[in-house]
Amino acid sequence: MNHIKNLGSQSLVYGLSSIVPRFLNYLLTPLFNYNFPVFEIGQVTLLYTYVVFLNIILTYGMETGFFYFSKKESNNSVVFGTSFLSLVFSTLLFLIVSFIFIKQVAVVIDFKENLRYIVWFLLIVSLDTFSAIPFARLRFLNKALKFASIKIIGVLVSVIFNLIFIWVIPKFFLSSDGTFFGFHYKLDIELIFIANFISSAVVLVLLAPIIFTSKYSFDKHLLKKMFIYSLPLMVAGLAGTINDLSDRLLLQYFLPKHVNAIREIGIYGSSAKLAVLMTLFIQMFRFAAEPFFFNQKKGTDQNFILADVSKYFIYYGLIIFLGVLAFMDLLKYYVGPSAYWPGLRIIPAYMFSKLCVGIYFNLSFWYKLSGRTYYGIVITGIGTLLSIILNIIFIPHFSYIGCAYVNLITYLTMIIISFYLGKKYVDIKYDLKNIFKFTGIGVIIAIVMFYMPLHHISLNIFKNLLLLGVFVLYLEKSEKIFSLFIKK
């Protein structure tokens, strides 16, 4: 079990860089949702959906490519220089083209009245892309604390400026005529983008020592090999993001005309934020798992380790899933005022779909480690096609409720396909008996928690915690999910 301990400890350190920033960011949800109308929150949600897509396109799989070739090549500075300079050049080219055609972009995404919003998010996504490879190098060098510190500082800057712009200035510094030091001050969602831009700029400044003290060496032949390896991962990542987030874009175009699509997107996006703990768990695992598996020594029983890690990942994911459901009576106030509460119906399906995202990530290692990254395109391509078709069918009838269930169906399908393809090439013996047993028990408990509530809030939370406690104790007794970290 040493591999579980090692990966667990690394995940906890990387968790600082993931949990703390995301937690701080998500603490801003009430600040935004209680100060801006649902429609404007929908606009923010929509724009940041485009940001996620652009982040994947602009990094085009180079982070994982950096890990793969840093392990294979003897000169790490060549890999760093080649990947970093490639991203810098392509991002600058993207910025130039985007600003030339910015009005056309605004028309396509229906933001022609708010052109300045697009300017901000183009700048944000570009700065984040510049930071990608320096962050990857910190992870490869196992400088987890430095990685975490910079991530946390960046988000703290965002949180502080959001608080200043949205709460401090309007509450304490605005004069009676609505001016701030003689300037007219308007509480606008553009302030959220400005705070994010400042944060991204600070992060890049903090990464400057890595960027400017590194030895740069560019190898066009290596770049070609990195493209061949990484571009399939970009396509797979893009397809995976379409599975996760395209529903927000499709809601904009496929809801009936009498329904306010942007408002529906605002409710959906705000409710989906309750899955933050699951998202954080997956992200911190991902940050630790990629360098962990790529750095495994030759002769290590990697297949056994993958099977073991996948099983425990599912167990901890089930605990998080049930933990969120246990406190739904309180968490609804975090989402915002009652206008957002109809969206809470998506939580069980949406949370479980996020767990499936993590399971699929575990299953993806068979093709990443074997160099068969083109299978990532095949699997996620099938998922993408399924997601788009089902969303187009479900959205006009069920709105965002349909989106949540489509997300779940899509990732379950991808898990099944990846599992059976993996068996063809790699002999990974997963403990399916226990995985299915505990997942089944977890789903039954989730149904009782969410769909069979007691009328009194305190009694309902007590009932949910009791069910959660029994589940955790049973897992510990059967699988030693906690004591394995204590044993020497």
**CA-to-CA distance for 309 and 314, rounded, in angstroms?**
9
The pTM of the full predicted model, rounded to 2 decimals, is 0.75
Q: Please check whether residue 121 is in contact with residue 189, taking contact to mean a CB–CB distance below 8 angstroms.
A: no
C-alpha to C-alpha distance for 62 and 391, rounded to whole angstroms: 30
What per-residue confidence (pLDDT) applies to 12? 59
Domain spans in the chain, listed from the N-terminal domain onward: 2-485
Angle subtended by helix axes 432-451 and 457-479, to nearest 10: 170
**What is the structure's pLDDT at 19?**
64
- Output the CA–CA distances (angstroms, integers) from residue 292 to 9, 347, 435, in the order listed: 11, 32, 23
Distance from C-alpha of 133 to C-alpha of 130, rounded to nearest angstrom: 7
Residue 488: the pLDDT is: 47
Phi, psi of 179 (to 5 degrees): -110, 155
In this structure, what DSSP letter does residue 170 have? Answer: I
The pLDDT of residue 109 is 80
Report the length, in residues, of the chain: 488
Residue 273 structure tokens: 């934020």
Give the containing element (helix H, strand E) for 68.
helix 62-72
Q: Tell me what pLDDT residue 294 has.
A: 65
- 482's CB contacts (< 8 A; 6+ apart) are 476
Report in angstroms the alpha-carbon separations of 25 from 30, 179, 192: 11, 28, 11
Per-residue pLDDT tens, the chain, 488 aa: give them: 555 555 555 555 555 666 666 667 677 888 898 888 888 899 888 888 888 889 889 998 888 888 888 877 666 778 888 999 999 999 999 999 999 999 998 888 878 778 888 999 899 999 999 999 999 888 888 787 788 889 889 989 999 999 999 999 888 877 777 777 767 888 888 999 999 999 999 999 999 988 887 777 788 888 898 888 888 778 777 777 777 778 888 998 899 988 988 899 999 988 988 888 888 788 777 777 766 666 665 545 667 778 888 898 999 999 999 999 999 999 888 888 888 889 999 999 999 999 999 999 888 877 877 777 788 888 888 988 999 999 999 999 999 999 999 999 999 999 999 998 888 877 778 889 999 999 999 999 999 999 999 989 999 999 999 999 999 999 999 888 876 655 54
Predicted pLDDT at 346: 94
Spatial CA neighbour of 264 closest among 365, 160, 338, 340 = 340
Judged on CB neighbours under 10 Å (0-12, 13-18, 19+), 209 is exposed
